[in-house]
Amino acid sequence: MNNRTSTKLIVLSLAIVLVATVVIVKLQHRTPPSPPVQEPNNMAQEPNSMALSLSFLDTPDAQSRTFEPGEPINLELIIKNYSKETWSVDKRFLAESALFVIKNSKGRVLQSINTLTYPVVPVVEDSFGPDREYRVQRNLFDLYPHISDICLGMLTLMTPDDYTVQVVLESPLIKYKAAPASDFPDRIWPQNLESQVLKFTVRDLTEAEIRQYISKTKTASEDEVIKILGILGAVRDHNTIPDILSLASKGATGEIRLAAIMALMYMPDKSIARDIEKIVIEDPSSRFGTYAAGFLGQLNDKQSVPLLIELLKQRAKYPISGDGSVWYAASLRSLGDIGDPRAIPILTEISKSDPTDWVRSGAQIQIDRINESSKQ
């Protein structure tokens, strides 16, 4: 190969390299093609175009919170229609409830939580229009149905532990799935709606705070005292027993006495058995007397057996209806809990001669329990 041919090949190679470089540079700087335009999803055709959100009212961006003992746990629930369609509210659904599900760290659902029913949720009469939004704010402790249950709720929630809260709205299409399709409106959300889960913890009390709460019981209203007793019971500080016991004794209102007994039940101490017996003797068929009778079984003090036997012998003095029937059950159960054979004769008499079926069967159940425990 002569020099002229070699020179031509070199020039040709350089030209090819130059052209390739220009092409590559142009490709690198070229604006990439736009992706295919995606048609917006028709949310109304999605399985669930309604949505629930749940947040802490004071810190809406937080998924978890730590609360002070007794501090309100304020929640905000939002129901929104994200579709462009109007979603109907089934008439049967208006009577259903929005359930606040509270679980502790072990996953146990706290059954004492009350439900919210229409018109609180949902707010609309017959339909939920496009982009319609409804907000409802609730203090977690306001979800308890009765004043006496507030104490139970506080006892449960004020125990230092982790809890979760979630709202679940049941779909009528699921709840009434056996009903014919013609019974439902044309458009209704087909599956249960669930909010996200919030986590919260209630801080324990310090010794100074405990004493401050006890001091407040002397001047606070009845409702406030009941809530304080719930908190004190959850703390389970045995040093508070004398103060709580004084509120359970004669002189306070019936609801406060009941709340005090319930608080004491969270820290059973046999040393107060005689004091609890006095409360039972005062009025066995009252609500606080009924709980006190049941508490004697929890204390498991055999010295209480003669009192319970004597009261059952004199049961004709007390009403068998209403709270009186509950007292019967509490007293029978306490004798079975204690398991003392001295209770067998009165229980046998009741099981054979009492005119009420459930009283006879209840007595027999406790006889069987006592016989079983004596074999162990």
137 pairs with which residues across the strands? 76
**What mean pLDDT do residues 351-365 have?**
88
pLDDT at 343: 96
Per-residue pLDDT of 240-269, as tens digits, reads 999 999 999 977 799 999 989 989 998 899
Judged against a pLDDT cut of 60, whether residue 95 lies above it is answered with no
Q: Examine residue 40 and state whether it is found in any structural domain, yes or no.
A: no
Q: Which domain holds residue 355?
A: 280-286+297-376
CB 173 within 8 A of CB 218: no
158 & 255 share domain: no
What is the CATH number for 141?
A: 2.60.40.2970
* Out of 148-152, 203-207, 266-270, least confident range: 148-152
pLDDT at 120: 46
More confident residue, 184 or 1: 184
pLDDT at 16: 44
Q: Report the distance separating Cα 96 and Cα 93, nearest Å.
A: 5
Q: Report the distance separating Cα 238 and Cα 105, nearest Å.
A: 25
Q: Report the distance separating Cα 219 and Cα 215, nearest Å.
A: 8
User: How far is CA 290 from each of CA 10, 90, 227, 231, rounded to the nearest angstrom?
Assistant: 110, 43, 21, 22
55 & 198 share domain: yes
261 & 154 share domain: no
Per-residue pLDDT of 2-38, as tens digits, reads 445 554 444 445 444 444 444 333 434 444 443 333 3
CB 143 within 8 A of CB 186: no
Average pLDDT, the chain: 78
173 & 74 share domain: yes
Q: Examine residue 3 and state whether it is found in any structural domain, yes or no.
A: no
152 & 179 share domain: yes
Local structure of residue 54 (DSSP, 8 states): E
Judged against a pLDDT cut of 90, whether residue 44 lies above it is answered with no
pLDDT at 117: 52
- The pTM of this model reads 0.61
59 & 146 share domain: yes
133 & 147 share domain: yes
pLDDT band for position 319 (cuts 50, 70, 90): low
More confident residue, 349 or 98: 349
Judged against a pLDDT cut of 80, whether residue 237 lies above it is answered with yes
What is the CATH number for 311?
A: 1.25.10
